[in-house]
Amino acid sequence: MVLLTPGPVEIHERVLKALSEGIASHRSETYRNWHCEAVERLKRISGLRDGSVYLIPGSGTTAVDAMIYSVLAPGEKVLAYIVGEFGRRAVNTMKARGLNVRLLEEPWGKAIRIERLKEALEEDSYDAVFIVHNETSTGVANRTLREAAELVHKHGAILLVDSVSGFAGERLYMDDWGVDVVATATQKCLAAPPGLGIVMVKSDVVERIEKVSKESPPPPSINLSLYEKFLAKCETPFTPPVNVVRALVEALRLIEEEGGIEARYREQEMRASRFYSVIDAAGLDTLAEKSARSYTVAAVRLPEGVRAPEVKKRMAELGFEIAGGMGEYREKVVRVGLMGAINADIVEAAARSLVEIIQELSRG
Ligand code: PLP
């Protein structure tokens, strides 16, 4: 079975081997070397020259929670510009933290619009703006983060980004674009096993985190101020999944060996182009508007009468594990992950099988 879900994804055999070999005390020199290497490599990939990278036991949700609870204090004003389910979930976390949230939304399938962001920022002032880089529930990539960051800074706020399914697959250059905080996880485009959330912050955000921690400390497990202290020693405050850290190092080495992050971006783009060509040629459509189709997760609309669980089952019989839709699209859409240790031929074969299954089911 080939894992083509929107995470976890197939991992390289070297990463799998590293996972099984990688047990060490989290206070040992061996562990500290892994931790340091992971942090340095993540900095290179994210284009973060001056700032901190935190490895947090947990998943993407933990990373998003840590970002929200550690960077923002209760009462602060946030503009959340959301385009799907994962944006909605982050907003729930913001409310739980006691933030003053203004919601700006696009219909599912649409990307954010810079003009709307501009208007909203002109109408009111905010401490922070939140955007999901790649909305996994709809297969939409927000590729205007650079323009968004520019506007956000012009209005004196900072930009927080959930890039759980975008990071290392959809372009993002933290320093050059001015993205202040990024949350991601190991089990998506990084093609490592699940087990770690990752938060990357620019250096001035580190000062903010210290202040927030003094005034309204988040729960210890997601308090990035504690992670910052231990980062100086290349450790975490609490026991991390040490073997996942070791596996992550291997996955990051592979990115470099395969030509670096730019080569990885091109690979994702090529896989996506092969996938969408097959879908388009068959007259099928995606939930995402064409210009914002994600390079990492494709959400294919199903014709009337064809339901996601049946399509998923038939794909599994052919050896492809895919996912259904989310929210109101649970049964109307199937989602195919284009990430991980696979290649464009596998992606295209999956697209062809998907088309055949959908056509057969729609004939009844
Ligand atoms: N944010 C986005 C955009 C995601 O795609 C996901 C998971 O798919 C999450 C957050 C939550 O990540 P996790 O399931 O690792 O907790």
DSSP symbol at 72:
-
Relative orientation angle of helices 145-154 and 114-123, to the nearest 10 degrees: 10
Ligand 1 pocket mutation, candidates 86, 182, 184, criterion most atoms within 8 A of CB: 86
Kindly state whether residue 7 falls inside one of the protein's structural domains.
Answer: no
User: Could you identify the atom of ligand 1 that is nearest to the CA of residue 165?
Assistant: 5
ipTM rounded to 2 decimals:
0.99
Cα separation, 95 vs 97, in Å, equals 5
Vertex 204: Cα angle to 133 and 234 (nearest 5): 85
Distance 165 CA to ligand 1 centre (A): 7
Ramachandran region, residue 110 (left: φ > 0; alpha: ψ -120 to 50; beta: rest): beta
| Cβ of 64 below 6 Å from ligand 1 | yes
Q: How many domains does the chain have?
A: 2
Question: Under a CB-based contact definition with an 8 Å cutoff, are residues 126 and 100 in contact?
Answer: no
Model pLDDT, residue 22: 81
Do residues 179 and 310 both lie within one domain?
no
Kindly state whether residue 82 falls inside one of the protein's structural domains.
Answer: yes
| Cβ of 88 below 6 Å from ligand 1 | no
Question: Domain span at residue 211?
Answer: 13-257
Distance 359 CA to ligand 1 centre (A): 31
CATH of the domain at 71: 3.40.640.10
Cα separation, 302 vs 358, in Å, equals 7
Do residues 318 and 213 both lie within one domain?
no
Q: Could you tell me where the beta strands, DSSP code E, fall in the chain?
A: 2-3, 51-57, 77-82, 100-105, 128-132, 134-135, 140-141, 158-162, 181-185, 196-202, 297-301, 320-321, 323-324, 333-337
Model pLDDT, residue 364: 79
Kindly state whether residue 31 falls inside one of the protein's structural domains.
Answer: yes
| Cβ of 10 below 6 Å from ligand 1 | no
Mean pLDDT, the chain cut into blocks of 10 residues (364 residues total): 98 97 94 98 98 98 99 98 98 98 98 98 98 98 98 98 98 98 98 98 97 98 98 98 98 98 98 98 98 99 98 98 98 98 98 98 91
How many Cβ atoms sit within 10 Å of the Cβ of residue 203?
Answer: 12
User: Could you identify the atom of ligand 1 that is nearest to the CA of residue 187?
Assistant: 15
Model pLDDT, residue 113: 98
| Cβ of 59 below 6 Å from ligand 1 | yes
Do residues 183 and 317 both lie within one domain?
no
Do residues 242 and 272 both lie within one domain?
no
Model pLDDT, residue 143: 98
Model pLDDT, residue 21: 87
| Cβ of 162 below 6 Å from ligand 1 | yes
Ligand 1 pocket mutation, candidates 164, 181, 188, 339, criterion most atoms within 8 A of CB: 164
